[in-house]
Chain A
Amino acid sequence: MRKLAIMTLVAGAALALPASAFAQAGNITATATVNSVFIDGAFQNLVFDAVNPGTAASVNVVTGAGGTPGFVEFSYNANYRVTATALPATLASGAATVGVAWECGTSAGTGTNPAASAACTQGATVASSDAVAGMGTVVVWLGGTIADTNVLAGTYTGNITFTIAAF
């Protein structure tokens, strides 16, 4: 250890101090930690076009055909994982319910069509990155299919939650 310290001081002295002077070197470290930042940005509700009894209805997550796909936008500066923390199996209108199968997609912005995600069930990871180099944006899209439409007339709703977190 002494040898290393001496090498440091000799080279340092040669740069700016008189050649005849004996110099001593002490080192400290400056440190900082940048926090992980996640920002909830724009969002859009998923809306199916009018559903006719007896006919399946769907909103294509990639093309948007069949209605208005939902999305939620996240900004991040750290490696992230987006999880579908609440993705109900049914939509409800009072006591009446209708089953729904979900489709998820992701894109880097709201102006582009998403690519479909492999998994879209409650608890599944729908988007992630482990090579973040600064601030970025990921948009998680949602579509789905209602297969059994032989239900009472009404407006059927459900709440969906996506959560972003560092890993």
Chain B
Amino acid sequence: MRFRPKALVRVLGGTVLVAALAASPGMAQGGGGTAVVDPVQGLQFGQLVPGMTLRVGPEEVGQRGELHVEGTGQYQVQFLLPEALVSLEGRTIPLVFGATDGILVRGTAGTAQVFDPRFGIGLSLTGGVRDARIFLGGTVEPAPGQASGMYLANITVLVARN
């Protein structure tokens, strides 16, 4: 099931934005133990040229988004993905996510598991593995006449115990 960002915005109003600016970790009881989601790094597209699409892959260390999840048990990870970056003036740049824009790594030496962030992924923190890293990429599509300026959007990751 895919989350619908527009629906979320309607429900949460300004709460999402405030939470994003604070970039605070979420924490809740996860049955088998306490789990924590910590933002590590935002998804950074850097300097864009109008009319030139740019993709940041989840394997690009300096630019990919990154979160750290710690806990014990079986979880489902879902993303609330924005459809555009937005400037302070309300201008937008389409932001799209594809089938290989997510990478999940369990533990410190786990195998990278590519996934589609539009559909989420199951996360098993069992068998001595207590944490995981989630990497996120994406693609921005500035228009040929895109106005200059700073654009941003909030990405929310939800981790729920199965």
Q: Which residues of A contact B (CB under 8 A)?
A: 1-2, 4-9, 11-18, 21-37, 77-78, 132-136, 166
Contact = CB atoms under 8 A, between A and B. Distances in A.
Given A26-B38, A28-B136, A34 B157 contact: no
A36 B48 CA distance: 9
B95 A30 contact: yes
Given A7-B15, A24-B35, A27-B19, A32 B46 contact: yes
Contacts of B35: 24
Nearest to A26: B37
B7 to A, nearest CB: 6
B45 A134 contact: no
Given A8-B16, A32-B45, A27 B82 contact: no
Interface string B8-51: 10011001101111111111111100011111111111111110
Contact of A35 (B31, B40, B49): B49
Which secondary structure dominates where chain B touches chain A?
A: strand
B67 interface: yes
B47 A33 contact: yes
Given A35-B47, A134-B143, A28 B23 contact: yes
A127 B5 CA distance: 42
Interface of B: 1, 3-4, 7-8, 11-12, 15-16, 18-31, 35-50, 54, 65-67, 69, 76, 78, 80, 82, 85, 89, 91, 93, 95, 136, 138, 140, 142-162
Contacts of B76: 17, 21
Contacts of A77: 50, 145-148
A18 B18 CA distance: 25
Given A31-B85, A32-B151, A35-B49, A5 B26 contact: yes
Contacts of B95: 30
B37 A12 contact: no
Given A28-B43, A30-B65, A30-B82, A17 B148 contact: no
Contacts of B80: 12
B4 A26 contact: no
Contacts of B30: 22, 24
List the 4 closest A-B pairs by CB distance, nearest first: A135-B145, A26-B37, A32-B45, A24-B26
